């Protein structure tokens, strides 16, 4: 579902969401009930609060040994951070 939402964004109104659920062959009655009753909104609010606390406003976002990495990065970028952190551990 997340790939479809990203592809169709910003068209995320109720009717569009229901159509996306139909495209994915989801149980439409359960889906509509979940939307109308805001099922899972407490989990979403918890995650939003955590993202704000961690100052995460970019996707993707990673933490490597406490180092925040924001945005799309290539494998060499990650390797350089990981190897540097491994070297720091060896020095201790």
- Each domain of the chain, given as residue ranges in start order, spans 2-39, 56-91
Residue 73, pLDDT score: 94
User: What three-state secondary structure class fits 64?
Assistant: strand
Confidence of residue 29 (pLDDT cuts 50, 70, 90): very high
- Read off the pLDDT of each residue in 3-9 and give the average, rounded to a whole number: 79
**Helix/strand/coil for 9:** coil
Q: With 90 as the cut, is the pLDDT of residue 92 above it?
A: no
Question: What is the residue whose two structure tokens read 């062959």?
Answer: 25
Q: Is the pTM of this model over 0.85?
A: no
10 Å Cβ neighbour count for 10?
A: 7
Q: State the chain's mean pLDDT as an integer.
A: 90
Q: Is the pLDDT of residue 67 over 90?
A: yes
Helix H segments across 1-92?
2-8, 14-23, 28-36, 41-53, 75-91
| 56 pLDDT above the threshold of 90 | no
């Amino acid at each position: 579902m997340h790939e479809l939402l990203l592809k169709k964004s910003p068209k995320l109104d109720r009717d569009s969401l229901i159509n996306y659920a139909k495209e994915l062959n989801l149980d439409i009655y359960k889906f509509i009930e979940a939307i109308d009753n805001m099922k899972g909104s407490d989990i979403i609010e918890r995650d939003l609060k955590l993202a704000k606390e961690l100052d995460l406003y970019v996707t993707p976002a990673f933490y490597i040994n406490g180092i925040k990495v924001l945005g799309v990065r290539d494998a060499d970028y990650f390797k350089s951070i990981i190897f540097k952190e491994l070297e720091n551990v060896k020095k201790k």
